[in-house]
Amino acid sequence: MPHPKLLLLALSFYTRLPHPQVLDYKLLPQSAVYLPLIGWLVGGICGLVFYLADWLWPQTTAVILALIVGILLTGALHEDGFADVCDGFGGGMNKTRILEIMKDSHIGVYGVIGLLLLLSLKASVLIEMPATAVPWLLLAGHSVSRLSPLLLMQRYEYARDQHSKASSAVYRPNFRELVFATAIALLPLMLLPVSSALPLIPALLATLLLGHYFYRRIGGYTGDCLGASQQVAETVFYLSMSALWKFI
């Protein structure tokens, strides 16, 4: 299953990290199976930044710095998708209008408010968690949440009828690929208490509900919808872990 070329393609598309310039981008859709592994990388770096920053500054500052680094590493790819979804579904009354708004490069009021609330929610939860747990939560959260786009890709059809900037996301992983990605996504949970598997339930439920909502409104998903699903799943995971931690 492991394929170095696909991994490099995933690295080039889903992060801003240096990568070989000569890559076969025709294989880019299949590289989505490595999203959870990209989550390892991004979450691991964010966790390291938090760990080091927490030695020098208050936990609030360390969390904000970790979130900033995560955004820089990915070029705000998933946050951009979340903002576009907020604008599109918030301002569009039908499929055509929703897709038009999401394709617009400008951000609207719904997108700004949505991003502010989302980032505030992430920060507020991580700030209140024990500092020793935050690096592992970031690693697990980034990895687990990147399984959500794959679940939507496997379950639903691409909603646009024509090519777009996100057309490279059009791919339906098969059962074997989904099992591989799931195993990769869940491995970081082994670094947390056993009961930490429980937050997977609300994160999965949020993904299913979001997928159903997208299907009902536009008949499937777009690249922006995939990014939004990652952001929602990550936030729900942190929220659930925070609630669970009171009983650990």
Nearest partner of 54 among 163, 133, 115, judged by Cα? 133
pTM beyond 0.85, yes or no: yes
Residue 163's pLDDT is what? Answer: 57
Q: What are the C-alpha distances in Å from 215 to residues 5, 111, 114, 150, 175?
A: 32, 20, 21, 15, 21
pLDDT tens digits, residue range 197-216?
A: 899 999 999 999 999 999 99
Nearest partner of 127 among 65, 186, 190, 42, judged by Cα? 65
| 3-class secondary structure, 30 | helix
Residue 40's pLDDT is what? Answer: 96
- Let me know if residue 32 belongs to a domain: no
- Let me know if residue 23 belongs to a domain: no
- Asked whether the CA dihedral 135, 139, 142, 145 is positive or negative, the reply is negative
- Let me know if residue 170 belongs to a domain: yes
- Let me know if residue 21 belongs to a domain: no
- Let me know if residue 183 belongs to a domain: yes
Structural domain boundaries, residue 209: 40-245
What are the φ and ψ backbone dihedral angles of 145, each rounded to 5 degrees?
Answer: -65, -25
Q: What are the C-alpha distances in Å from 126 to residues 20, 45, 123?
A: 35, 16, 5
- Let me know if residue 67 belongs to a domain: yes
Per-residue model confidence as pLDDT tens for the chain (248 residues):
557 778 888 888 898 888 776 666 677 778 889 999 999 999 999 999 999 999 999 999 999 999 999 999 999 999 999 999 999 999 889 999 999 999 888 889 999 999 999 999 999 999 999 999 999 999 999 999 999 999 999 999 998 875 555 555 578 888 899 999 999 999 999 888 878 889 999 999 999 999 999 999 999 999 999 999 999 999 999 999 999 887 76
The number of domains in the chain is 1
Residue 22's pLDDT is what? Answer: 60
Helix or strand run (H / E) with residue 82: helix 77-91
- Let me know if residue 94 belongs to a domain: yes
- Three-state SS annotation for 217-239: HHCCECHHHHHHHHHHHHHHHHH
Residue 170's pLDDT is what? Answer: 75
- Let me know if residue 51 belongs to a domain: yes
